[in-house]
Structures are given as structure tokens and as C-alpha cells.
Structure 1
Amino acid sequence: MPIDVREINRNAPRKPSFKGVKWAVIGLAAILVAANSFTIVPAGNTGVVLTLGEVSANPLSEGFHLKAPFIQQVEDMSNKIQVFNATATAVSRDLQTVNSEIAVNYRLVSDKSPDMYKNVGLEYSTILVSPVVQECMKSATAKYNAEQLITERESVSTEVKTALDEKLNIYGIYIEKFNIVNFDFTEEFNNAIEAKQVAEQNLLKTKTEQEQAKVVAKTEAEKKVIAANAEAEAILAQAQAQADANKLLEESLSSKVIAYEQIQKWDGVMPKVTGKDGGLLIDVNIDESANNAAASTPQN
């Protein structure tokens, strides 16, 4: 019986084929290469390029960029405004312990991003910003006494912001805004401040009452002066009116009128003295019995 070679080959075990695996590996490698051949820098960020660990001086701007796969790496550095909140403990000029709650708004400029990454790293807020803020806050607080820190808070904030800019601008960090949220003092100092405010309020109240009393007294005195002046003016007016009346009466009397008035009032007794013009000058009061006695006396 002849042997069928084709039948033998068909039934013989087949050797495994790596052709499909090879193409799968090639496809996967191509995907990995393609995925590592580009980068996208988010908005508000700067891409710091690392070539085998070396920092490039030329940062990448926002958007799509090509890069060497597996050789270059891109780190994103935020250039947005960031907020740093902290509590700073310092001592005032009058040796009062002051705990301050502060808020710092700052940003990193894009041109300085590579240097910041190279010299400080991604944690520059903790490594650089925090200690500088503490230092500037302590320095400014020591220039004011505790009461001035409260009453001149805006001046203190301005001074601290200026000091922060001087120390951080060289690193590319710019302070957008600095706020002192709150000052907290010891309980003893707070009690002293409260007692002082109460004393000042009582003093102000006393001064106000004194000023009011002075105003009332002045008003009463002015009223009395006005009343006295009015009374004096009334008396003067009355005297002037009487004088005017007397003058008018004097001007209206004539010798005939006077003689007529005297005749009307004469009781029939002849006066002892007469004027050269026959008028009555002196009315001598001699009772009627004396006149009668004188008339009955014989003449020598």
C-alpha cells in the first residue's frame, strides 16, 4: 500500500509561529514611542524640559509640543496666582507676643521656572516662600508696639509686602497681595486694652458732659445779659420818653397859661411878694385868722 506523504505532513505536529506576536510587540512599541514623542503644557503653566536629567534653559509655553521619546521629560510649573496661608509668631517693640494670621498671594514668572526647578524644585512654596514670609513678618512686627500693630495694620502690611518683594523677586516670585487677616495677643494684653478703652470712653463721656455744662452755663449767662440789656434799654427808653414829655410840656407852657393855672388854684389870700410885672412869685401860706388879726390891729 503506497504511503501518502501529504497525509503524513497534515497529521504531523506543527511548530509554533511568532509572526503575530512580533507584530503585536512592534505595534505596542510604536504606540509607546508615539505617546512619549509629544507633551501638552496646561494653561497657566510652563513646561520645564529635562534631557536625561539636565534642565533646559528654554521652557515650553502652553500647548502642544514634540519631544524626544524616553530621553526628554517635561515638568509643569504653575504660573498662576497661588495662595499661601500661615500663622506667624513674633514679638512687638514693647515685647508683646503677637500671633498673626497672614495670607500671601504670589505667582512664579514663566522665565524663572527652569531656574526655580533646578535650584529649589517643585516644593518652592514650602522651601522658599514660607521661611521668607516668617522672617519678614518678624522683622516688621518688631518695629511697632502692640497697639500700633492694631491701629496701623495697613502700614505694617505694606512694609511686609515690600520686604517680601525684595527677597523673592530675584527667584522670579512676585507678591500680588499681602494681607494680615488677624492679630492675636495674650489674654493679659487684651484685658489691658479693654480696660484702657473703657477708661478712654469714660474720660470722653466726662469731657462731653463738661463741655455740655459749659455750653448751658454760657447760654444762661448770655440770656441774663440779653435780659439785662433789654431792661436797661427799656429804662433808658422810658427815661427818654419822660424827658421828651417834660420838654414838650415845658415848651407848651407860656406865662399866661401859668398865671391862669395859678389863678385857678388861688384861695383868695393875697401873696406877700409879687413880681415886677404883677405876677405871683411866692404863695405864702398864712391862715385866715392871722390875716384877720393883723387887719384889726390899729395903725400908728
Structure 2
Amino acid sequence: MFPEMGKKKQEAPTAAQAKGLKRAIVGGIAVVAALIIGFSGFSTVEFGHVGLYKTFGKLSDNVLNPGVHFKIPFVQSIIQVNTQVTKAETDTSASSKDLQPVSTHVVVNYSVDKAAVFNLMNNIGANYDTVIISPAIQEIVKEVTAKYAAEDLIAKRDVVSNEVHDLLTKRLARYNLVVNDINIVNFKFSDAFNASIEAKQVAQQQALKAENDLKRVQIEAQQKVAQAQAEAEALKLKKQEVTPDLIMLKQIEIQEEAIAKWDGKLPNVTGGTVPFIDVESMTK
């Protein structure tokens, strides 16, 4: 009888301990659940983004700035939208005005209008870059490319780029997207067209060389004509200066030179005209 009573006394504390342990576990779970609910009641909107409340799948037009915001746990979520400048790259195939195939690589820098984030996300969704931006770039680039000949696309790249920029800005403004900048990185043409451009450049260089050679010849000819005209003018002036007195004086000078060189003997043979010398006047 006494041993049985001892056993009962030992079982009572064990049940109490189990009950306390159970309470501790339940309390711990409650604390963890409270912590989870507490943390899930807050969300952070990152820098360079804005947020929108989503309650049971419905968006709120209340735009949240970067920072910590409260939300109803398991009921609300916060969608973040990037408002920083974002890059979109697109490859477009088109034809020029002279029907040359052209592949264009375009880079567009754009951003989302903060004030209209709700309209963009509610009407288009988070994949607006593939739904709106890329198709708009391809369509406008094709439209502008068709206005220019292939060579003009190269020579007037700035003009083409500005036209694409203006048209794309108007198109994306409908969806509250802002075009910050656009760059046409490269125009790629067919091998046949590239070969024709190279041949044309060679021909232009050769034509330029021939033109320069022709100009050089013309200049040299003009110089010769000018020189000949100057010599003729000089000769004309010299002829105008010749008078009968000057001719007589020149003859006297020639005779004096001949007398100065004469040794007093007449030549036995003469091969040409001997200047006339008056010997009698000389002896007198």
C-alpha cells in the first residue's frame, strides 16, 4: 500500500512539468509568429524606386517614396518600380530609300515618370520594356531608315538619330515613359554595298588626284604664258628703244673693237665678211 502511494506522488510533478513545457513551446511559437507578423508588416522601397500598394491583387494609386513603409501582413504587398535611367538595346532590320538592307543597333536610355507610375503599372504592367519600348524602337527606326538612301544614313547619322529621338519621345510619352537619350551604335550593310562604297571611294580619290594634276598643269601653262608675255613685252620695249643713232654708235663700237685687235696684216683667206676699215683715214 505504501509503495503505491509513493508512485502517485512521483507522477503528479511530471504532469505539471509537461504542462509547463507545453505552455513554453506554445509561447515560443506565439513569439516567433508575432515576430514574423511584425516584420512582414513593414517593407522597404529601395533608393531610385517608388512603390505601389497591392491589396488582394488591386493596385493603389498612392505612390510610395524610398524608405520603410507599413503594410497589412498577408493582405498587402508593395510593388517597386525603378525610376532610374534604364538602357534598352534593340537590333532592327530595315531597308533604306534605295532598297539597301540595313541592320541597325540602337541604344535608348529612358526612365519612368514618377507621377504616372500607377497608370503605367495598371495599364501596361511590369514588362513594359518588352511590350512598349522595344516594338516602338523597331517601328520608328524602320520608318526613319526608309526616308534616307544608304549612303545618307552614314553621312547624316546625327540627323537620323535626332529624328528617331523626336518620334520615339512622342510615342513613349503616351505611356508616361521619358526618353533621355538615343544612340545609333552601328549601321550594318550588305557585303556588296560595302564593296561598292569602297570602290566609289577609290574612284573619288583617283578623280581628285586627276583634278589636282590638271590644275597643276594648268597653273604651269599659265606660268609659261605669263613668262612668254613678259619676255615679249620686254623685247617690244627694247625694239622701241632702238634708233638710227644707236645703230650707228653700235657700228662704231664694233669697228673700234676690230681695229684694236688688228695686227696690221690683211688675212690671205677670209671665210666671211670683213668689217670695212678706212685705211687711208687711219694713216692720216
**Would you say same fold, with TM above 0.5?**
yes
Q: 1:78: which partner in 2?
A: 82
- 1:156 is aligned to 160
Q: What is the match of residue 189 of structure 2?
A: 185
Q: Using the alignment, how far apart are the partners of 1:100 and 1:52 within structure 2? A: 44
Pair 1:38–1:239, CA change in 2 (3 A): farther
Give the distance between the partners of 2:56 and 2:234, measured in 1 at CA.
108
Q: Look up the SS of the partner of 1:148 in the other structure.
A: helix
* 1:134–1:240 Cα change, 3 Å: farther
- Compute the displacement of 1:112 (Å): 1.9
- Distance (Å, rounded) in 2 between the aligned partners of 1:206 and 1:23: 100
Partner of 1:51: 55
- Once the two structures are superposed, the pairs formed by residues 145-294 of structure 1 within 5 Å of their partners are 145-237=149-241, 239=243, 242=246
| Alpha-carbon RMSD | 2.4
Larger Rg: 1
Q: Please report the TM-score for the alignment, with normalisation by the length of structure 1.
A: 0.75
Distance in 1, matches of 2:245 and 2:14, equals 157
Compared CA separation, residues 114 and 241, structure 1 to 2 (3 A): farther
Per-residue CA deviation, residues 2-48 of structure 1 (Å, 9 max, x unaligned), is 67957632245733322111211211121112112222111111112
Indicate the larger mover: 114-123 or 162-171.
114-123
Give per-residue Cα distances to partners, 1:77-135, cap 9 Å, x unaligned: 10111111121000111111100111111111112222222222222111211111000
Correspondent of 1:103 among 100, 107, 122: 107
Structure 2 residue aligned with 1:125: 129
Q: Which amino acid aligns with 2:23?
A: K
Q: Which letter does structure 2 place at the counterpart of 1:157? A: S
2:95 to 73, 91, 105: 91
Match of 1:136? 140
CA 78–103 in structure 1, closer or farther in 2 if over 3 Å, else same: same
Structure 1 residue 240: Cα displacement:
11
Partner of 1:298: none
> Which residue matches 1:26?
30
Report matched runs for 1:56-71 at 5 Å.
Answer: 56-71=60-75
Q: Which runs of 5+ in 2 are unaligned?
A: 250-280
Which segments of 5 or more consecutive residues in structure 1 lack a partner in the other structure? 246-264, 266-300
Pairs aligned (count): 245
**Amino acid paired to 1:112:** A
> In the alignment, residue 71 of structure 2 is paired with which amino acid?
K
C-alpha separation in 1, matches of 2:61 and 2:203: 64
Aligned-partner Cα distance in 2 for 1:28–1:240:
139
**2:61 match: secondary structure:** coil
How far apart in 2 are the matches of 1:215 and 1:48? 79
- Following the alignment from structure 1 to structure 2, what is the Cα–Cα distance between the partners of residues 2 and 72? 65
Rounded to whole Å, the distance in 2 between the matches of 1:133 and 1:239 is 92
Distance of 1:49 and 1:137 partners within structure 2: 37
- Superposed displacement of residue 193, structure 1: 1.4
Secondary structure at the residue paired with 1:43? coil
Q: Residue type of the partner of 1:167? A: R
Whole-Å separation in 1 of the counterparts to 2:120 and 2:174: 10
* Separation in structure 2 between the aligned mates of residue 238 and residue 83 of structure 1, nearest angstrom: 91
Q: Letter of the aligned partner of 2:142 in structure 1?
A: K
**Judging changes above 3 Å, is the alpha-carbon distance between structure 1 residues 208 and 47 closer, same or farther for their aligned structure 2 residues?**
same
Runs of 4+ that moved beyond 4 A: 1-7, 237-243
Q: Aligned partners of 2:105 and 2:183: how far apart in 1? A: 9
